[in-house]
Amino acid sequence: EVQLVESGGGLVQAGGSLRLSCAASGFTFDDYTIGWFRQAPGKEREGVSCISSSDGSTYYADSVKGRFTISSDNAKNSVYLQMSSLKPEDTAVYYCVAKRGPFGIGDLAGYDYWGQGTQVTVSS
């Protein structure tokens, strides 16, 4: 059974940091794009960041560039999202996603697997 399990969400003050983790099971990271989407109430779903398990290429949405860092540990089948200088507008449920095929954030519909999500709340 394929699973993506997110952890690390929580409540943090503006300017603070959080590290999200995504542990994958049931498949290996070979030739996958693994990333993070977020969904806030009343807002459109946004592709935040992704990383290629093949060559380490990364993508960041403009809204998080310079503040978030994505990394992966293929040996542990895990991906991490280090979030710094958090803002109230970063408040959302963050979902870990994975897909095979060409690298790129794309749309959630193009992903093969996704997790249940972890809540991130940034207070002002």
* In the predicted structure, residue 95 carries a pLDDT above the cut 80: yes
Tell me, what's the pLDDT at 101?
79
Position 29 pLDDT exceeds 80: no
Q: Within a 10 A sphere around the Cβ of 110, how many other Cβ atoms? A: 13
For residue 52, the model assigns a pLDDT of 94
Q: Is the pLDDT of residue 31 over 90?
A: no
Which among 58, 99, 104 is positioned nearest to 80, based on CA atoms? Answer: 58
Degrees to nearest 5, angle at CA 36 with 71 and 87 = 95
Q: Which residues contact 10 (CB under 8 A, 6 or more apart)?
A: 18, 119, 120, 121
Q: How far apart are CA 31 and CA 12, in angstroms?
A: 34
Instruction: Return the minimum-mean-pLDDT range out of 41-50, 86-95, 105-114.
Output: 105-114
Q: Express each pLDDT in 65-85 by its tens digit.
A: 999 999 999 899 999 999 999
CA nearest 86: which of 35, 12, 22? 12
What mean pLDDT is reported for the chain? 94
Predicted local confidence at residue 105, as pLDDT = 86
**pLDDT value of residue 108:** 85
